[in-house]
Structures are given as C-alpha cells and as structure tokens.
Amino acid sequence: MTRALITGASTGLGAEYARQLAARGDDLVLVARNEQALTALAAELGRLGVEIEVLPADLLDPEQLSRVEERLTNEAEPVDMLINNAGFGMGLRFERNAVDDEVRHLRLHNEVPLRLMHAALGGMLARGDGRIVNVASVAAFLPRSTYAACKRWLVEISRWMTGEYGPRGVTATAVCPGYTHTEFHARLGLPAGKEGVPGWMWLTAPDVIAESLRDIDRGRSISVPSKRYKAIVALLKVVPPGVAAKAGARGR
C-alpha cells in the first residue's frame, strides 16, 4: 500500500486520479482550495477502505503552500507519490491578458510543483522509492502561448529528474493528455462542443488516468495517453513551425 498526495484533487483529472488510486488500495492526501468538494470526495472514496486526508489549501498563498510542503516532509506518514495537478487556463492572446494573472499562472504551474517536488524528494531518496507526477499537456509540444511554455517546463524537468534520480528509485513522469472532457473547459466559459475542436480529438478522464498510471508505474518520464495523441506528438516533431503554430491556435 502506498500514499499519494494529489493537488487540484477536487475535480477533473485530480479527482479521477484519486478514484483510480483509491480503487487499487492506495491511501490519499487530497489538496485543493474547495474544502467542501474535497470532503465529499473523501466520503465517496472512504467506502473503499483506504485512509484519506483532506488538506484544503490555496497553493498560491505562501502560508498554505508551506503546510502542503510540511506534509510532504512528514516521514511518520510518508508520501510515496506526488501528483502535481493543480492548474488553470489562460487566453491565448498574451498581450490581452493581465500580467498579474500570467504571473499567478506561471507560479501555479511551475513554482508550486518545484517547491512540492523539492519537499518530497528528500524522503523519497532516503527510502529509495518514489513517484512524482507532473500533469502537463500535449500543448507542451506546440507553440501555444504561455500555457504551452509552462507545460513544456514540466516535461523537461520530469525528463531530467528521471535521468538523475531514477537509478536511486525515484522517477518523475510528465503526463501529457490532449483535449479531455473535464471541468477545465467549463471554467474557461466554454461549454462542451464549443471549443472549436473536432469530436475525435476528445478523450475521457478515466482513460487518460488509467493509461498514465501504467506509464507512471513503469517509471516513464513522459506519458502521452492514447494512440491518436502519440501519433500527433510524433508528427509535431517533423512538421514546419508555421504548421505547428496553426495547430496550436485551435481551441482555447
């Protein structure tokens, strides 16, 4: 039995990670701003007989982030898997976005995972075992405004960490899903089917998480769920930059 700490656990991919990990018998530490949603999810998953902690925190608040870092360093109840999932989207027109919103976006996608990885790593290395999961995106392989840049950072640090710490039992996996049906798009004010993306490009959260967990368990540094998106990522390595930029402009 292992214990996983999941940020952004109240909805979307974070909640699906919680469901699938609990179903296989893992204990959980659920982190998000919405305490009510976390408590409801904990009640749902508690029926599976696993231990669940609820840790409400706004990760952009330094004091609340520190509480999560402290939980990761608690060796009496160690965390074996850290899932950095919390995030939010931005409009693609950088020049129109408020710069303070862009900074918050950068901090949540990069600074927060950096701090949490650093907090978790010492104990994982001492135990000789650990899994770090950074929820990135297929957008990391596209020229797609600051969102893609943030996600690319998660890909590259995961690749480096696995090479550096894999021989000592700790791996990092950047999970790079394509368009997936979750609350993420609704929070951007985009109802399902209105994102300008054809239906065949959409994935379901249960499929994305199930495939990513297989890659995480194997210690892979990058997980691109589904054959269609694996093919797209392979194609993006050889298409001209202008074509890739047009592809990156699709959807929101």
Residues 113 and 107: their CA atoms lie apart, in Å, by 9
DSSP 200: G
User: What is the helix (H) or strand (E) element at residue 132, kind and residue range?
Assistant: strand 130-135
Task: Look at residue 223 and give its three-state secondary structure.
Answer: strand
Sort strands 222-223 and 170-175 into parallel, antiparallel or unpaired.
parallel
Query: Does 17 participate in catalysis according to the annotation?
Result: no
Written as one letter, the residue type at 127 is R
* Sequence-separated (6 or more) residues with CB below 8 Å from residue 151: 109, 136, 137, 139, 140, 176
* From 17, 147, 179, 229, the catalytic residue: 147
First CA to last CA distance, the chain? 39
Cα pseudo-dihedral 194, 195, 199, 202, rounded to 10 = -130
Give the catalytic positions in this structure: 147
